[in-house]
């Protein structure tokens, strides 16, 4: 699957961006919420996402890069999100948060920063619908892919197989045709791509090519 990250879109022309996104092969629309505390940047919040929701029928993949994301489960579900992903590093009671997300009818995702080992998921993997491996330090689009992520995808694939988990593996940051190909080979299910898609001459075609890897 391919999930274009709206962070790299032209926010002055969202209606135009969704003209091509809606007819594209994009499986999900990836939305990065930042609070300036968990990450050194601030992006957009719920009012913007509710506008986005009105522009598309594509499932929304909401990635919260915020502290205490458990405070906003109801708000995110009311936006009609398909996936709600919280950071492992931001949740003290991760098990409770994951089950709360599912109780509100969303898929529950857990994101890991580049320095957080896959092994921290050992006792929760069976409860998860998705694991998001950050392949850059979260906070900004257009950064360089961290190659060690490929090993983490392989480790996570093994952990998922051994535990019988149904979790999808999503990778976010620095994904392009080269890194995307390697990630698919390693076993990634969902690729998030911002810059590679929105900065390309033909975003719709790039979206199709990344999704077909
Ligand atoms: C980074 C965000 C990403 C970002 C990816 O903190 O979580 O979703 O938009 O952008 P690219 O693909 O440009 O690295
Ligand atoms: Zn993201």
Q: What pTM value is reported for the model? A: 0.98
Q: What is the pLDDT of residue 143?
A: 97
Which sequence positions are flagged as catalytic? 32, 172
Q: What b/e readout covers 188-200, taking b as 16+ CB neighbours within 10 angstroms? A: bbbbbbbbbbbeb
Question: E strands, 37-82, where?
Answer: 60-65
Q: How far is the CA of 90 from the centre of ligand 2 (A)?
A: 15
- Ligand 1 contacts (CB < 6 A) are 5, 7-8, 30, 32, 63, 136, 138-143, 172-175, 192-196
State the fold for domain 2-211: TIM Barrel (3.20.20)
Tens of pLDDT, residues 102-147? 999 999 999 999 999 999 999 999 999 999 999 999 999 999 999 9
Q: How far is the CA of 138 from the centre of ligand 1 (A)?
A: 7
| Distance from chain centroid for Cα 90 | 16
Contacts of 39 (CB under 8 A, 6+ apart): 65, 138, 139
Write down the domain spans for the chain. 2-211
Q: How many CA atoms lie within 13 A of 39 on its CB side?
A: 22
What's the whole-number mean pLDDT along residues 155-161? 98
Residue 178 near residue 146 (C-beta atoms within 8 A): no
Contacts of 199 (CB under 8 A, 6+ apart): 8, 142
**Average pLDDT of every residue of the chain:** 98
SS3 state at 112 = strand
């Amino acid at each position: 699957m391919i999930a274009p990250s709206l962070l790299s879109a032209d926010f002055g022309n969202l209606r135009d961006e969704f003209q091509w996104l809606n007819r594209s092969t994009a499986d999900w629309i990836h939305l990065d919420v930042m609070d300036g505390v968990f990450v050194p940047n601030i992006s957009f919040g719920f009012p913007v996402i509710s506008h986005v929701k009105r522009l598309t029928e594509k499932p929304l993949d909401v990635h919260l890069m915020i502290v205490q994301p458990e405070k906003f489960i109801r708000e995110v579900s009311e936006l009609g999100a398909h996936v709600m992903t919280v950071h492992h590093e931001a949740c003290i009671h991760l098990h409770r948060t994951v089950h709360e997300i599912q109780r509100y009818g969303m898929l529950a995702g857990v994101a890991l920063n580049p320095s957080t080992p896959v092994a921290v998921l050992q006792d929760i993997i069976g409860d998860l619908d998705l694991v998001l491996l950050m392949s850059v330090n979260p906070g900004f689009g257009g950064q360089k892919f961290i190659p060690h992520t490929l090993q983490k995808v392989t480790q996570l694939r093994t952990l998922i197989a051994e535990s019988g988990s149904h979790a999808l593996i999503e990778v976010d940051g620095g994904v392009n045709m080269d890194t995307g190909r390697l990630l698919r080979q390693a076993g990634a299910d969902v690729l998030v791509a911002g810059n590679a898609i929105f900065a390309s001459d033909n975003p719709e075609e790039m979206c199709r090519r990344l999704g077909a890897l």
